[in-house]
A and B are shown apart, each in its own frame.
Chain A
């Protein structure tokens, strides 16, 4: 206990002197995967170089994801005595310019700034808005993401200085009953998607008989379009570790396992580092903090199987076997890894636990709605203007998320896919649905792990359905008949429809196969794999029918089921389209109407992407046109 306390004291001092009251400029840079993908490492190099050139000492703090990934790379500067100011979409040159301005001229360059972390008076003074008043961020409530973007995820002291492990200490003191009561009152439900009451799961595991128990953090975030868990681990790994420790203590486990995707090497690296730091703090090992609780954490990497996010498949993977789900009962909390009681929780669920332990269940209840308490992170991606990681209270209407936080779509909104590849597509008439476990299910979708993929009129729903079922087809473990063969049947049908070979009874065949899958599949993957297909069939039937009867894809996605024309009323003759066309299918002189030769067109989409006037549209192929010729051209 003493060791931990002395570490904490040191950490608090360090935080105060290095961050809160630093006497040298502190430069924050987001280096989670999203930042890196945007080029943050080059910016980092630039910052280091520039500071060296200017002969100035600065403190660079690499932080995690602060949310609006579409603004990455994000660089923040806190000059001594000033609040932190945020600059976004920072390129190497822009970084240089800003640094020079700040470090040499003491000029914060407000015209280049996006937001600040100070109070209202600073906004008045500089004209820079508060960062969290930005439209994307204002409606958000950051409970889980509290530390993300603030602390250096590779420096455990930062976590310690920000209430780190106080939740765990409290539980250690008050006992497991306190923790369970707090969880119950908080109403936390499994954030992996199933929404099972967390306190109940912990209770079942605690009550299960067995000397050896395990707690597993499910960090196998396989949903394409979802990166909440990755962002959390890369930005604040200790939150997850603290949750794991608490869980271990409450259920009586001595071994924690983090099952992380192999595709998340940075997350794994940061976890390993954090675990090593935990050992240094004396929070792992035998008799932690003088209690009778001994615990250790190891990391096991997944090997590329989405199905291993399913609990029994995860366990199979841990046991070194093919990741094929097993029939339940028995449930993992009774008989899991190595036949022992095993608690499996999602990363975010565990990441939420420390806050609840610190501040109590009643505090957590204030967020969200009845039956769906608290907040949840979502990945808002796709055709919205503001993409990134968000955290909102449960019960927030979809519309607010898409239009307010997401900033809406450029083209007309078409649908939002919720819950990952096993979720459903909801259309404009469902936008007022509040995000709760039940409401999502009632609309034919699921909350899932929190992926929200926004689509506009340039997205073809039939193509999306094909995409999702293709995913399910590849990720199906293949064990049970309905999923293995059903996904293939659905995929084949959709491929056929997209090729323009759809037949009237295809829809009925798909409904039937989907029904069999839902009712008889062995695990959740099979049961939900047909969701994207059935939900889109229900809400967008007309689009399917157009594909089948009219062989027409209005979104201009399915090759051969449309042809491009250039609208005379919109074209301004900028010739950009003609320049990018790889097939030389567009002819026209500058400032004059351009024409597109459908026989040469390969439907690669390049012209549509560059046309600022949206003058190129997809129209049905005239019936007289030789269909065969078109498909020859395209192959």
Chain B
């Protein structure tokens, strides 16, 4: 239903149920706000959007007033302007604002005085949000020339103990966007308002750290903070971004869409890309990318390693050496190890390289050992895997071995939303985890008993209570099973710990039957971004110790060196960062990070996701596939003349990546003989072989110790 109202003399037609603020915005009328945030319920605490409405006493706020037929609104009358100025003055009396009214303002920009040496914000120029602050904008817009009220500095200590971002509540204007977004959109409520009145401060219980308070570091609060109160540690002095580049986060298979913030040829931050369907990132994509791609230890130039040490060489020389070593090597004694972090382009070219340049089959997937014999089941399951958004349609969700506290915390938010819309959550996990707080049932089998429990549930689903000989299920499992039985739209979410479980063969077998029995939607969430791509290309072979012992040339792309290198092959190490263990002889070949090249990978739902080049590569870094191509070209092998990723993709599409999966090759017997890569355990959160902890300081607070090291 449409209503007629007047705003500032303009006659407008507005849909009933909208607020005056929405009506104004839709029609291009500016009304200042601070606490308002599209996507959050209107709050009405800052009072900035105060307007005059005929027939109403005082000046109501536009954000909380619903439109009514015949309403007559003034958004810019002298009274309104004066009240807004007063409100802003009141706010500025409690917010360091000396720069706003300083006579030297225009000079200051030019001379860039060393005010930033102060650890504490005393004015805009020493504030990390200088140029990105709503108060600054508002002051200018309202033409405020002076403060007017005596200053009150609250003398609160700056909260720096948590990773990733600092909190300086001396700058806080209590718009409460942070508290609201944490509560309404992400359901974590890690922060709250404490005390009341003039002593109100946003904080944690008893001043605990955010880590202790249950924050998952999704960074949503930092993004929506209108002032410099919440500021990313790494981004503090980076300045205002010049442009944004859309890409996909490569740190797991969820495929979240990311906006990279770029300034001066560097990535300075990453934010969720709402325009492309992602409204939240987990801590990895939100805070892991910038530090990682800008890390000082990034490899920048090729180097040769021998007994004398490491010597920088030119690319020409490096390629020459590599080509020499490979051609001199027996094809059976060359091994190429790729990881599931590599892009499709890298994987495709690598596979082609082994096939046509080395003329062997020795391409190995580093994480294959972790998946073991379950890899073929996983490959099958991938075919029917659905995207995360499927959760919103489910009425019952079974989560297997999923702990989405930090990594993949977007999933927990999706689960919360589903539960609030009425879905029932059943979680199966032997340890206490975040989901058990709001799950309907928490099934807690021992680590060895998961498959058995699922088996029992399957039996129940098949036969109901009708068979008294069935092993009796524990009560929660009975209730959970009943929920699944009655469900009309069940979904099953499988976490990465489940996929790499030592007993994953039986687990996955039961899982497949379970899915078929209740016609459930399956959502797989492997930890590595491009497991899907590797599976589709058929790169699934684990490296066996036997093979490893024989090797003369060991080529490693996007992975750490294997744990036991007691002998000495010639190592071709291709990565973005140096290896964690020493190379006695070989070449270090610097590869481009995903921010420096275009690429694709296959997400958890089997969909193609793109990464886009945002910044120039540092030093003389080259994309991984290009390094392989140069070696191939040096050896005179045709078919490696790709100029860009698009050409590779075109070739991929016409050959292998169009649905034909190869049967994964599996070693038999498996366990004792496969080489474990230190990075393969999902709880270690590695990228390109190194734990994120190594690159991103904040991760040490979240994951202080490596969970498991496979020997």
Residue numbers of A with Cβ under 8 A of B are: 305, 322, 327, 329, 473-482, 484-489, 492, 509, 512-513, 515-516, 518-522, 527
* Chain B nearest CB, measured from A324 CB (Å): 8
Q: Is B90 an interface residue (CB 8 A)?
A: yes
Q: Is B149 an interface residue (CB 8 A)?
A: yes
| Chain A to chain B contacts (Cβ below 8 Å), 6 pairs | A477-B196, A478-B174, A485-B93, A519-B59, A520-B87, A522-B44
Tell me if B47 and A482 are in contact (CB < 8 A).
Answer: yes
Within 8 A of A (CB), among B177-204: 193, 195-200
Answer whether A518 and B150 are a contact pair too, CB < 8 Å, given A474-B197, A480-B45, A485-B90: no
Tell me if B197 and A477 are in contact (CB < 8 A).
Answer: yes
Among A480, A481, A482, A488, find the residue whose CB has the most chain B CB atoms closer than 10 A.
A481
| In the complex, per-residue mask of B62-97: 1 if CB is within 8 Å of any chain A CB, else 0 | 001010000000000001000100110011011000
Cβ contacts under 8 Å, B200 to chain A: 478-479, 484
* Chain B nearest CB, measured from A516 CB (Å): 4
Tell me if B46 and A484 are in contact (CB < 8 A).
Answer: no
**When the two chains form the complex, which single residue of B59, B149, B152, B195 contacts A509, counting CB atoms closer than 8 Å?**
B149
Tell me if A487 and B197 are in contact (CB < 8 A).
Answer: yes
Tell me if A522 and B86 are in contact (CB < 8 A).
Answer: no
| In the complex, per-residue mask of B585-627: 1 if CB is within 8 Å of any chain A CB, else 0 | 0000000000000000000000000000000000000000000
Tell me if B58 and A482 are in contact (CB < 8 A).
Answer: no
A482–B48 Cα gap in the complex (Å)? 10
Cβ contacts under 8 Å, B93 to chain A: 485, 489
Cβ contacts under 8 Å, B64 to chain A: 327
Tell me if A488 and B45 are in contact (CB < 8 A).
Answer: no
Cβ contacts under 8 Å, A487 to chain B: 197-198
Q: Is B530 an interface residue (CB 8 A)?
A: no
Q: Is B50 an interface residue (CB 8 A)?
A: yes
Answer whether A481 and B45 are a contact pair too, CB < 8 Å, given A489-B93, A518-B58, A519-B59: yes
Q: A475-B197, A482-B87, A516-B83 provided; 4 other pairs, C-beta below 8 A? A: A478-B195, A480-B47, A481-B90, A484-B200
* Chain B nearest CB, measured from A463 CB (Å): 20
> Closest residue of chain A to B60, judged by CB?
A327
**When the two chains form the complex, which single residue of B46, B66, B149, B197 contacts A481, counting CB atoms closer than 8 Å?**
B46
Q: Is B366 an interface residue (CB 8 A)?
A: no
Cβ contacts under 8 Å, B176 to chain A: 479
* Chain B nearest CB, measured from A491 CB (Å): 8
Tell me if A520 and B59 are in contact (CB < 8 A).
Answer: yes
Tell me if A492 and B174 are in contact (CB < 8 A).
Answer: no
A305–B197 Cα gap in the complex (Å)? 11
Tell me if B44 and A476 are in contact (CB < 8 A).
Answer: no
| In the complex, per-residue mask of B19-62: 1 if CB is within 8 Å of any chain A CB, else 0 | 00000000000000000000000001111101000000011010
> Closest residue of chain B to A323, judged by CB?
B196
> Closest residue of chain B to A515, judged by CB?
B86
Dominant SS among interface residues on chain A: helix
> Closest residue of chain A to B175, judged by CB?
A481
**When the two chains form the complex, which single residue of B45, B174, B199 contacts A522, counting CB atoms closer than 8 Å?**
B45
* Chain B nearest CB, measured from A311 CB (Å): 16
Tell me if B196 and A322 are in contact (CB < 8 A).
Answer: yes
Answer whether A519 and B58 are a contact pair too, CB < 8 Å, given A305-B196, A476-B196: yes
Answer whether A484 and B174 are a contact pair too, CB < 8 Å, given A327-B64, A478-B197, A516-B87: yes
Q: Which 5 A-B pairs have the closest CB atoms?
A: A478-B200, A327-B64, A476-B197, A485-B90, A516-B86
Answer whether A480 and B44 are a contact pair too, CB < 8 Å, given A492-B150, A516-B86: yes
A513–B46 Cα gap in the complex (Å)? 15
A527–B60 Cα gap in the complex (Å)? 12
A489–B87 Cα gap in the complex (Å)? 12
Cβ contacts under 8 Å, B46 to chain A: 480-481
Tell me if A486 and B196 are in contact (CB < 8 A).
Answer: no
> Closest residue of chain A to B94, judged by CB?
A485
* Chain A nearest CB, measured from B525 CB (Å): 35
> Closest residue of chain A to B34, judged by CB?
A481
Tell me if A519 and B44 are in contact (CB < 8 A).
Answer: no
> Closest residue of chain A to B152, judged by CB?
A488
Among A329, A474, A489, find the residue whose CB has the most chain B CB atoms closer than 10 A.
A489
Cβ contacts under 8 Å, A329 to chain B: 66
Tell me if A478 and B90 are in contact (CB < 8 A).
Answer: no
Cβ contacts under 8 Å, A474 to chain B: 197
* Chain B nearest CB, measured from A461 CB (Å): 23
Cβ contacts under 8 Å, B91 to chain A: 481, 485
Among B148, B149, B199, find the residue whose CB has the most chain A CB atoms closer than 10 A.
B149
* Chain A nearest CB, measured from B420 CB (Å): 15
> Closest residue of chain A to B48, judged by CB?
A481
> Closest residue of chain B to A491, judged by CB?
B198
Within 8 A of A (CB), among B146-186: 148-150, 152, 173-174, 176
Tell me if A478 and B196 are in contact (CB < 8 A).
Answer: yes
A478–B194 Cα gap in the complex (Å)? 10
Answer whether A486 and B90 are a contact pair too, CB < 8 Å, given A480-B44, A519-B59, A522-B44: yes
* Chain A nearest CB, measured from B358 CB (Å): 67
> Closest residue of chain A to B85, judged by CB?
A516
A512–B46 Cα gap in the complex (Å)? 18
A478–B195 Cα gap in the complex (Å)? 9
* Chain B nearest CB, measured from A331 CB (Å): 13
Cβ contacts under 8 Å, A488 to chain B: 152, 198
A519–B58 Cα gap in the complex (Å)? 5
> Closest residue of chain B to A330, judged by CB?
B66
Answer whether A519 and B150 are a contact pair too, CB < 8 Å, given A476-B196, A484-B200: no
* Chain B nearest CB, measured from A446 CB (Å): 15
Tell me if B197 and A519 are in contact (CB < 8 A).
Answer: no
A485–B46 Cα gap in the complex (Å)? 11
Tell me if B198 and A473 are in contact (CB < 8 A).
Answer: yes
A520–B197 Cα gap in the complex (Å)? 16
* Chain B nearest CB, measured from A323 CB (Å): 8
Answer whether A479 and B90 are a contact pair too, CB < 8 Å, given A516-B83, A519-B83: no
Cβ contacts under 8 Å, A522 to chain B: 44-45, 47, 61
> Closest residue of chain B to A518, judged by CB?
B58
> Closest residue of chain A to B92, judged by CB?
A485
Tell me if B197 and A489 are in contact (CB < 8 A).
Answer: no
* Chain B nearest CB, measured from A322 CB (Å): 6
Tell me if B197 and A484 are in contact (CB < 8 A).
Answer: yes
* Chain A nearest CB, measured from B232 CB (Å): 27
> Closest residue of chain B to A520, judged by CB?
B47
Cβ contacts under 8 Å, A484 to chain B: 174, 197-198, 200
* Chain B nearest CB, measured from A93 CB (Å): 47
A322–B79 Cα gap in the complex (Å)? 32
Tell me if B61 and A327 are in contact (CB < 8 A).
Answer: yes
A513–B94 Cα gap in the complex (Å)? 14
Cβ contacts under 8 Å, A482 to chain B: 47, 87, 90
* Chain A nearest CB, measured from B492 CB (Å): 34
> Closest residue of chain A to B91, judged by CB?
A481
Answer whether A520 and B174 are a contact pair too, CB < 8 Å, given A476-B196, A485-B198, A489-B149: no
Cβ contacts under 8 Å, A519 to chain B: 50, 58-59, 79, 83
Tell me if B193 and A322 are in contact (CB < 8 A).
Answer: yes
Among B50, B79, B83, B196, find the residue whose CB has the most chain A CB atoms closer than 10 A.
B196
* Chain A nearest CB, measured from B148 CB (Å): 8
* Chain A nearest CB, measured from B317 CB (Å): 66
* Chain A nearest CB, measured from B654 CB (Å): 59
* Chain A nearest CB, measured from B13 CB (Å): 22
* Chain A nearest CB, measured from B702 CB (Å): 30
Cβ contacts under 8 Å, B47 to chain A: 480-482, 520-522
* Chain A nearest CB, measured from B280 CB (Å): 25
> Closest residue of chain B to A484, judged by CB?
B198
A479–B193 Cα gap in the complex (Å)? 10
A322–B196 Cα gap in the complex (Å)? 9
> Closest residue of chain B to A521, judged by CB?
B47
* Chain B nearest CB, measured from A614 CB (Å): 40
A481–B86 Cα gap in the complex (Å)? 10
* Chain B nearest CB, measured from A213 CB (Å): 23
**When the two chains form the complex, which single residue of A327, A475, A478, A527 contacts B58, counting CB atoms closer than 8 Å?**
A527
Tell me if B193 and A478 are in contact (CB < 8 A).
Answer: yes
